[in-house]
Amino acid sequence: MPSDVRLDSPEQEHFLRELIDAGLLIESGVPGVYGHGAEFERVRAAFAALITEAGRASGAEQLTFPPVIPKRNLETAGYVGNFPHLAGSIFGFEGSEADARVVRERAAAHEDWSEYADQTDLMMLPAACYPLYPAIAARGPVPPGGVLVDIGAAWVFRHEPSLDPARRQSFRMHELVRIGEAEGVSNWRADWAKRAVELLSGLGLDARIENASDPFFGRAGRLLAANQSAEELKWELVIPIAGPEPTACASFNYHLDRFAETWGLRFADGTAAHTSCIGFGQERIVAALLRTHGLEPESWPEAVRSRLRLTSDEEGAGGGPRPGATVTAW
């Protein structure tokens, strides 16, 4: 096992093995990277539909971005400096034919060939919202009343290999982002935190909100985390899954005007906008549902199946509601 794999509790490792044996997860050979069986993906898609519908009902604009991002953007946003231990850089081969022959031989023997790969101008996307801020800024002044965007279920990457099935290196984060006046953005975050607890509690999960901080790197990072916690700029919705402590399954982040200053997000009068993002870790929420209600969604309580629209009369192909099904707001 690689030396950087996070050591988790026996209970977490046992749950991981249960999910794999049940065909819900598919091993890749690398900790924290899994395929999904049909039932796992059906539940994930059903939950994703609930968030998408809620965003649409609120008037959210839907935008999508690829799972890679220009390196310069992450450097400008401060991610590389604050979270170098989580960042994923993309490298590519640009050598000669002779170099390619060496790479071919080493790769066939699973030996190190990294000296023949150069860093590209792309990195793995670490959070769904990072591409959004410069994209909105490029439109010009923030309109009166601000902007609300549903980025959907973006594939993101965090370099933290683990045997905890709820801690992935590659996973989908469903984010909504609010850009606007300070009071409106702050109230929007608080409202969504309340709504998220109601939603997940309604799915039979023991969900609660806690004050939190991001895993900043190093000594300076500990000071940043302390300030973030003191100002309550990050809340997490936590749910017991398989570990000794509950797992953060959603986050509610208030950036003040930091990203506005970074990217030039301003109203027509020059006032800096405030921003907030909320993110739902889809695989973690599915893992919480499977841990709470059992590994066979067909046997889950009817109230849970109905709310996710997994019942046969409402279900469409791929999970979620069938076209034309009645949608109940939550």
Same domain, 161 and 245: yes
Percent of the chain with pLDDT over 90: 87
**What's the pLDDT score for residue 135?**
98
141 vs 271: CA distance, rounded Å: 10
* Per-residue model confidence as pLDDT tens digits over 182-216: 999 999 999 999 999 999 999 999 999 999 998 99
239 vs 47: CA distance, rounded Å: 16
Same domain, 245 and 133: yes
Distances (CA, A) of 181 to 150, 209, 235, 313, 319: 18, 24, 20, 43, 37
Give the bridge partners for 253, in sequence order.
Answer: 234, 277
Q: Is residue 324 assigned to a domain?
A: no
Same domain, 96 and 205: no
Same domain, 99 and 202: no
* Strand 61-62 versus strand 147-157 pairing type: parallel
Give the bridge partners for 148, in sequence order.
Answer: 178
Place 9 in a pLDDT band, splitting at 50, 70 and 90. Answer: confident
> How long is the chain?
330
* Per-residue model confidence as pLDDT tens digits over 54-63: 999 999 999 9
The whole domain housing 115 covers 90-120
247: helix, coil or strand?
strand
The model carries a pTM of 0.90
The domain that holds 24 is classified in CATH as 3.30.930.10
Same domain, 116 and 196: no
120: helix, coil or strand?
strand
Q: Is residue 4 assigned to a domain?
A: no
Give the single-character DSSP code of 137.
H
**What's the pLDDT score for residue 2?**
52
Please give the angle made by the CA atoms of 296, 244 and 50, to the nearest 5 degrees: 45
Q: Is residue 322 assigned to a domain?
A: no
Same domain, 115 and 100: yes
Same domain, 189 and 111: no
Total domains in the fold of the chain: 2
Q: Is residue 161 assigned to a domain?
A: yes
17 vs 38: CA distance, rounded Å: 17
Q: Which among 104, 120, 136 is the end of a domain?
A: 120
Same domain, 110 and 207: no
Same domain, 106 and 245: no
Contact 234, 142 (CB under 8 A): no
Instruction: Characterize 58-70 residue by residue with b for buried, 16 or more Cβ atoms within 10 angstroms of its Cβ, and e for exposed.
Output: eebeeeebeebbe
Same domain, 174 and 36: yes
Same domain, 276 and 132: yes
Same domain, 269 and 235: yes
